[in-house]
Amino acid sequence: MARLSMKRMVVRAAIIVALIFAAYKYGLFQSKTPFTYERRTFKDYKGGAPWRMHGILGLRPDGTPGFPRAECPTNYNMAEELRSNGFFARLSDCLPLDRNITDGRHKSCRFVQYDLDNLPDTSVIFVFYNEHPSVLLRSIHSVLNRTPPQLLKEIILVDDGSDLPWLGQPLEEYVQLLPKVRIVRNEKRSGLVKARLRGVEESTAQTFTVLDSHIEVEEGWCEPLMARIKGDRTRVLMPQIDSINQETLDPVVGGIGCSLGFLWNLIEHSIPIQKKDQALRTTAIDAVRSPTMAGGLFTADREFFWHLGGYDTEFGFWGTENLEFSFRIWQCGGSLECMPCSRIHHIFRKGGHAYSLPPGHVAKNKLRTAAIWMDDYGFIVKEAIGAAGKQPDIGPLDHMLELKQQLQCKSFDWYLKNVYPEGIITDLSDIRALGTVKNTANNMCVDNMQHMYADAKMGAYACHGHGSQTFLILARTKEIRPVGNLELCLTSDTTISWCESRHDVTWDYDQANMLLKNTKTQKCLAVGDGNNLVTEDCDLHNDRHKWTFDDKHPDKHPAVHF
Ligand code: UDP
Ligand code: MN
Mean pLDDT of each 10-residue bin along the chain, 562 residues long = 59 72 49 33 46 92 95 92 94 93 89 95 98 98 96 98 97 98 96 96 98 96 97 96 95 93 93 97 97 94 98 92 98 98 96 80 94 94 85 92 98 98 92 91 94 95 91 92 92 96 96 96 96 96 93 53 46
For residue 194, give the ligand nearest its CA.
1
Instruction: Calculate how far, in angstroms, residue 436's C-alpha sits from the geometric centre of ligand 2.
Output: 37
Going along the chain from its start, the domains and CATH numbers come out as 78-346 (3.90.550.10), 428-551 (2.80.10.50)
Nearest to 156 by CA among 177, 128, 135, 130: 128
What confidence score (pLDDT) does residue 554 get? 57
How many angstroms does the Cα of residue 213 sit away from the middle of ligand 1? 8
pLDDT at 22: 59
Question: How far apart are alpha carbons 189 and 161 in whole angstroms?
Answer: 4
Among 129, 155, 256, 346, which is best to mutate for testing ligand 1, by the most ligand atoms less than 8 A from CB? 129
DSSP assignments along 282-340, one per residue: SSTTS-EE-S---SSSEEEEHHHHHHTT-S-TT--SSSSHHHHHHHHHHHTT-EEEEEE
- Global pTM reads 0.87
The predicted pLDDT at position 2 comes to: 44
Q: Is 350 in the pocket of ligand 1 (CB under 6 A)?
A: no
Q: How far apart are alpha carbons 411 and 367 in whole angstroms?
A: 17
Q: 304 CB less than 6 Å from ligand 1? A: no
SS3 string, 19-84, reads: HHHHHHHCCCCHHHCCCCECCCCCCCCCCCCCCCCCCCCCECCCCCECCCCCCCCCCCCHHHHHHH
Q: H or E segment at 384? A: helix 378-384
Q: How far is the CA of 70 from the centre of ligand 2 (A)?
A: 24
**HSE value, Cβ hemisphere, 13 Å, CA-based, for 28:** 7
**What contacts 434, CB < 8 A, 6 or more positions away?**
379, 380, 383, 470, 471, 472, 473, 483, 551, 552, 553
Which pLDDT value is given to residue 278? 98
Q: Answer yes or no: is the C-beta of 317 below 6 A from any ligand 1 atom.
A: yes
131 lines ligand 1 (CB under 6 A): yes
- The pLDDT assigned to 8 comes to 74
The residue whose CA is least distant from atom 2 of ligand 1 is 192
